[in-house]
Amino acid sequence: MNRMLNSLARGRCFVRAGMLFATLFAFALCSYGADSDVQVELNSKQAGPRTVESLTEAGIIRDYRFAWTSMARALEINTFDPLEGCFAGQAKDWLKQTVASQQRSGISQRYLDQNHRLEAVFYAPEGDVMELHDTAEYQVQVIEGGRVIHDEHVVLHYVVLMTPGADRWVIRQLQAVPQF
Amino acid sequence: MRFLPACAAICLAAASGGVCAAQDIYIHAPAAVTAGDEAKLSTSGSGKATFYLSGPGVSRKTDISLGEEIPLRAQDLRVAGRYLAVACSSTCRSTTFYVSAAQPETLAFLVHPSRVPVAQSDAVSGVALPFDQFHNLVLTPLNVNFQLTAGNASLLSRAAPTRDGIAWFRSSSGRAAGTLQVTASLDNVPVLRAVQEVASDPCNLRINGQRTPAGISVQTEPVHDCAGNAVPDGTIVTFTATDAGGKSTVDAPIKHGIARAEIESSSATVITAASGVVMGNELRLGAQR
């Protein structure tokens, strides 16, 4: 009887451990998806001629954060999949070229501690395109064969064009400039 | 900018009188590079090194000889943005440079809406974005000429400077139904869009009718908007008949400019018509004899 109870208790213990592992695994995935490494804030007070509604603001922040998380992932592990859905047009083309080029050269890039201060500077009258200025601050590492050959903390300026897709805002242009 | 131990200048046993293996590398980028142009980086030092170029759309690794210029191919510099160049031997040195868009070659032109009622204020808008041949957004200020033409009449002709790579306009629609040609041109390269202008809401809706053996036959006069444009077929006119038995309504689409309805009623009847927010005249018919 005692043996049966012990066995049952041991079984429950395994089940609990399994559940705990599953919970932790799910949490790890969620926290990756939550983009905790990418901070985005948006100022849309100067945007015009159309006013940026608060729900649109929230959508832009969410989708811009997700796009940078996806881009960082694509450039770190040199895969195209994360780029699907977040990028379109020219931005998607050159990101794919970058990944393909990195695959050939054996180089990858790692983006860390991203902080993006977005300013909406133009929102089309019909809401079909928005231009943003991103002052981005992050740590970027260039890696070859597991060896970091370049590690730099940068503050960069990006001119960004975003357009609304079926269920999200997508980045169509992401162009680094020396200054705004 | 910091360099990691793997690439840092390492003086092997320098403290114990050994030979310093570190080499001074210097790498210098040009101040300005235009997309699609070739460029050269200058280096100092001697011996062999590995050169890395990382930028939008490119990631390249090549062997170089220090002290010589590093040629950058035009095809590697087609995308505007920031590029990182790193040269590594026993130590790594890096430099960055920006590639800017080339001359504008195409114009992305978004116009809304595709169909618009006539005589609506601020109803037509357009956004133009100049791009170079490599699809980089041209950020230097340019003048885009917007023209709106309906038939032979010019509704708008305006030069708008681009700001951060965007020029836009907003305008009222014309007074006549038909095709509105919307043109944006940059350096005499026009981009054309068409907006269909349609009649606005009906104006002065008038009806007439007479008794028939089956009841009442009622119809509108040709339906026009306030600018005299024929309201498109398919627009619904609602006829309302009120008699001793109560009120009844019937919807009839405009066909060949006129909406018709048959109403069953033998007593004295008052008929009205409405389309959208516009009411027509009242038609009073006596009881059937």
pLDDT tens-digit map of A64-88: 999 999 999 999 999 999 999 999 9
Lowest mean pLDDT across A32-36, A151-155, B165-169: A32-36
Residue B246 shares a structural domain with residue B190: no
Give residue ranges of B with CB < 8 Å to any A CB: 1-4, 6-7, 52, 54, 56-61, 79-82, 84, 86, 88, 92, 94, 98, 100-101, 110, 112-113, 125, 127, 129, 135-137, 139, 163-166, 168, 170
Pick B137's closest partner by Cβ from A95, A105, A159. Answer: A159
Task: Average the pLDDT over B181-188 and give the result.
Answer: 91
Which residues on B lie below 8 Å from A161 (Cβ)?
Answer: 129, 137
Higher pLDDT, A34 or B130: B130
Q: Residue B170 corresponds to which tokens in the numbers above?
A: 């907003």
Which residues on A lie below 8 Å from B163 (Cβ)?
Answer: 122
Among B100, B132, B167, where does a domain finish? B100
Q: Are B147 and B183 in contact (CB under 8 A)?
A: yes
Residue B191 shares a structural domain with residue B211: no
At residue A86, the pLDDT reads: 94
pLDDT tens-digit map of B218-243: 999 999 998 889 998 999 999 999 99
Find the Cα–Cα–Cα–Cα dihedral A18, A23, A24, A27, rounded to 10°. Answer: 160
Task: Average the pLDDT over A144-150 and give the result.
Answer: 92
Residue B143 predicted with pLDDT over 60: yes
Terminal Cα-to-Cα distance of chain A (whole angstroms): 77
Task: Average the pLDDT over B274-289 and give the result.
Answer: 86
Residue B66 predicted with pLDDT over 90: yes
Q: Are B225 and B199 in contact (CB under 8 A)?
A: yes
Chains A, B: CB contacts within 8 A come to 120
**What is the CB neighbour count within 10 angstroms for residue B109?**
22
Mutate to test the interface with B, among A77, A101, A143, A159 (most CBs of B within 10 A): A101
Q: Are A115 and A139 in contact (CB under 8 A)?
A: no
The CATH number covering residue B185 comes to 2.60.40.1930
The CATH number covering residue B249 comes to 2.60.40.10
Share of chain A above pLDDT 90, in %: 76
Cβ–Cβ below 8 Å for B135 and A156 = no
At residue A36, the pLDDT reads: 56
Cβ–Cβ below 8 Å for B170 and A49 = yes
DSSP 8-class letter at B255: B
At residue B12, the pLDDT reads: 33
pTM (predicted TM-score): 0.80
**ipTM of the modeled complex:** 0.81
pLDDT tens-digit map of A83-127: 999 999 999 999 999 999 999 999 999 999 999 999 999 999 999
Among B60, B79, B100, where does a domain finish? B100
Residue B118 shares a structural domain with residue B190: yes
The backbone region for A69, taken as left when phi is positive above 0, alpha when psi lies in -120 to 50, beta otherwise, is alpha
**What is the CB neighbour count within 10 angstroms for residue B187?**
14
At residue B91, the pLDDT reads: 85
Pick B137's closest partner by Cβ from A94, A97, A173. Answer: A173
Among B100, B129, B154, where does a domain finish? B100
Backbone angles phi, psi at B284, to 5 degrees: -110, 125
At residue A17, the pLDDT reads: 52
Q: Are A75 and A102 in contact (CB under 8 A)?
A: yes
DSSP 8-class letter at B122: T
Task: Average the pLDDT over B251-263 and give the result.
Answer: 94
Average model confidence (pLDDT) across chain A:
86
At residue A16, the pLDDT reads: 52
Residue B208 shares a structural domain with residue B155: no
Match domain A36-177 to its CATH number in 3.40.50.720, 3.40.50.300, 3.10.450.240, 3.40.50.1370.
3.10.450.240
User: Which residue on chain B is closest to A177 by alpha carbon?
Assistant: B81
Residue B190 shares a structural domain with residue B209: no
Which residues on B lie below 8 Å from A142 (Cβ)?
Answer: 52, 54, 84, 86
- How distant is the Cα of A178 from the closest Cα of chain B, in angstroms? 7
Q: A27 CB contacts (<8 Å, ≥6 apart)?
A: none
* Buried b / exposed e along A25-51 (16+ C-beta atoms within 10 A): eeeeeeeeeebebbbbebebeebeebe
At residue B95, the pLDDT reads: 95
At residue B256, the pLDDT reads: 93
Pick B82's closest partner by Cβ from A89, A90, A156. Answer: A156
At residue A58, the pLDDT reads: 96
Domain with B220 in it: 202-285
**What domain count does chain B have?**
3
Residue A19 predicted with pLDDT over 80: no
Residue B62 shares a structural domain with residue B119: no
Q: How confident is the model at residue B152 (pLDDT cuts 50, 70, 90)?
A: confident
Q: How confident is the model at residue A27 (pLDDT cuts 50, 70, 90)?
A: very low
Residue B78 shares a structural domain with residue B114: no
Cβ–Cβ below 8 Å for B110 and A124 = yes
Sign of the torsion formed by the C-alpha atoms of A31, A34, A35 and A39: negative
Task: Average the pLDDT over B125-138 and give the result.
Answer: 96
Q: Are A176 and A160 in contact (CB under 8 A)?
A: no
- How distant is the Cα of A85 from the closest Cα of chain B, in angstroms? 19
Residue B32 shares a structural domain with residue B62: yes
* Buried b / exposed e along B232-250 (16+ C-beta atoms within 10 A): eeebebbbbbbbeeeeeee
At residue B265, the pLDDT reads: 85
Cβ–Cβ below 8 Å for A151 and B81 = no
At residue B19, the pLDDT reads: 32
pLDDT tens-digit map of B31-60: 889 999 999 999 998 899 999 999 999 999
